[in-house]
Amino acid sequence: MEAINHQSNITTLLLSWYSKHKRDLPWRETSDPYRVWLSEVILQQTRIAQGWDYYLRFVDRFPDVQSLAEAEEEEVLKLWQGLGYYTRARNLHTAAKQIMSRFNGRFPSGYSDILSLQGVGAYTAAAVSSIAFDAPHAVVDGNVFRVIARLFAVASPIDTTEGKKIISEIAQSLIDREHPGIYNQAIMDFGSLVCAPAQPKCMDCPLQPHCLAFQENGVNAFPVISHKTSVRERYFNYFHIEHENKTYIQKRNGSDIWKNLYEFPLIETPTPMDFLQLVQTKDFRHLFPETGLRSVDLRLTLRHQLTHQIIHTRFYRVMISAESAFVPPEGLICIEKQHLSAYPVSRLTDKYMKII
């Protein structure tokens, strides 16, 4: 009984805090499930300030599920360019088609139907079903993990199955069953604005009397993280080839990152290599079988961090003399230089294109 009162006090305080401090965001002006879903997908791993413009552009170009489903994938990827994690855009597009074919174009209202859509996980299904349909499913995102880990001094690391399970159960027990959507948005906003990762505002926090981490003087010890996830280091060498007014790109495929996006010809090496080492490789000789190169300049080096990968990148600018008959290897697409910006590319390639 005491635990239930403790939890309902926390819920009441969170809702009261939210009624005074709620942020006005464009996707909060609607309960249209399509727009709620779109905003949730855009905001995963994206700051609100950055996602805001993308959301407005998407709803302007694709105001409903049907318009998104009928678009070409390349247009969806191009509109997404700069947000990163392009799988989200591809899944968004596939899920819109699934809604058209499996649900006659009506956004499904049941949690399990929403969860069955391409790319939709427990977090998004809970967010959409609670905000658009008032279904009592608690969201558990990074903010919720941190707030609950501190409030309840959860000792299990949040990046383990056990830690995730404990926090999900507590989150579900805290949900306000009459206003689940408002509660979910309240706890996420609270985590972002008050119980922040660094320097949480404990002295102004309405939940402070209920916070075990604060009472134990251990706010900085929570959430506990095991850091067992490994990060893969990769070495990319891109070749921005210029031959008269032409350049060359290729489309990524397979199951690797950035599927269906375009990029310059790439040689990936298992270890860092300078240019002299690179020219000795079989891949280099395959890319440039003839010696018609006029000049090769290392234009930019970038360290690009993804969730589980660090890409150490070198961009080379290769000028091929006009007299040379450059025959590109299979898979390379020859385009006019000025058409380069029309192709959807990764954030890494976009950074290079903005600098050159």
| DSSP states of 103-167 | STTSPP-SHHHHHTSTT--HHHHHHHHHHHH--------HHHHHHHHHHTT--S-TTSHHHHHHH
SS3 39: helix
Distance CA 155, CA 141 (A): 18
Q: Per CB under 6 A, does 195 bind ligand SF4?
A: yes
CB 17 to ligand SF4: min, Å? 10
Structure tokens at 224: 């506990």
Q: Per CB under 6 A, does 200 bind ligand SF4?
A: yes
Piece of the chain touching ligand SF4 by CB under 6 A; list 27-35, 211-219, 281-289, 331-339: 211-219
CA atoms within 13 A on the CB side of 225: 9
Looking at 29, 40, 75, 330, which residue is catalytic? Answer: 40
Piece of the chain touching ligand SF4 by CB under 6 A; list 25-33, 168-176, 212-220, 259-267: 212-220
- How big is the chain, counted in residues? 356
Distance linking the first and last C-alpha atoms of the chain: 65
Q: Decide whether 201 or 285 has the Cβ nearer to ligand SF4.
A: 201
- The β-bridge relationship of strands 262-263 and 266-269 is unpaired
Name which of 231, 230, 227, 251 is nearest 311 in CA terms.
231
Q: Per CB under 6 A, does 213 bind ligand SF4?
A: yes
Q: Per CB under 6 A, does 65 bind ligand SF4?
A: no
268 is catalytic: no
Q: Decide whether 20 or 282 has the Cβ nearer to ligand SF4.
A: 20
Q: Per CB under 6 A, does 219 bind ligand SF4?
A: yes
User: What value, to the nearest 5°, has the Cα angle with vertex 101 and ends 99 and 107?
Assistant: 20
CB 196 to ligand SF4: min, Å? 8
Using CB under 6 A as the binding criterion, the count of chain residues that bind ligand SF4 stands at 15
Q: Per CB under 6 A, does 187 bind ligand SF4?
A: no
62, 123, 214, 326: residue in contact with ligand SF4 (rule CB under 6 A) = 214
Q: Per CB under 6 A, does 17 bind ligand SF4?
A: no
35, 90, 93, 150: residue in contact with ligand SF4 (rule CB under 6 A) = 150
What is the sign of the dihedral through the CA atoms of 289, 331, 253 and 35? positive
Residues making contact with ligand SF4 (CB under 6 A): 147, 150-151, 194-195, 200-202, 205, 207-208, 211, 213-214, 219
Residues marked as catalytic? 40
